[in-house]
Amino acid sequence: MADILVFPRKPRIQESTVISLYTEEEINVTVAAINLHGPYKITADELASMDAESVERCLLQASVNELLSLRARRLANHIIGTIERVKNYK
């Protein structure tokens, strides 16, 4: 009888998005972007429960929207530039 070969499993890779907001101004611009372009209105307290990909989409739309000031659009672009993609191996 032949031996059974056991092949190692390929690790499953999950990619997640991390958005780091450090100042009150970054939080306010992010909440404004979600309230303008998101599916529903939120407060700053509810921001942590939002999906990072949908927050990123709202920030992208807000960065080209004329409703926000130039300073707010620049800050939205800055936040978009600091978004990280993190790979989790399981």
Whether 29 is covered by a domain: the verdict is yes
> How confident is the model at residue 64, as a pLDDT?
93
Higher-confidence residue of 68 and 7: namely: 68
> Residues 18-59: pLDDT tens digits?
999 999 999 999 999 999 999 889 999 999 999 999 999 999
Domain ranges, residue 67: 13-89
| pLDDT(63) > 90 | yes
Q: pLDDT class for 1, splitting at 50, 70, 90? A: low
7 within some domain:
no
Residue 38 in any domain: the answer is yes
The token duo for 52 is: 């990072």
Task: Provide the pLDDT for residue 31.
Answer: 96
Query: Looking at the domain assignment, is residue 52 inside a domain?
Result: yes
Q: How many domains does the chain have?
A: 1
CA distances to 11, 18, 20, 61, 70 from 53, in Å: 23, 9, 13, 13, 24
Q: String of b and e for 41-75 (b: at least 16 CB within 10 Å)?
A: ebeeeeeeebeeeebbebbeebbeeeebeeebbeb
Residue 30, domain member (yes or no):
yes
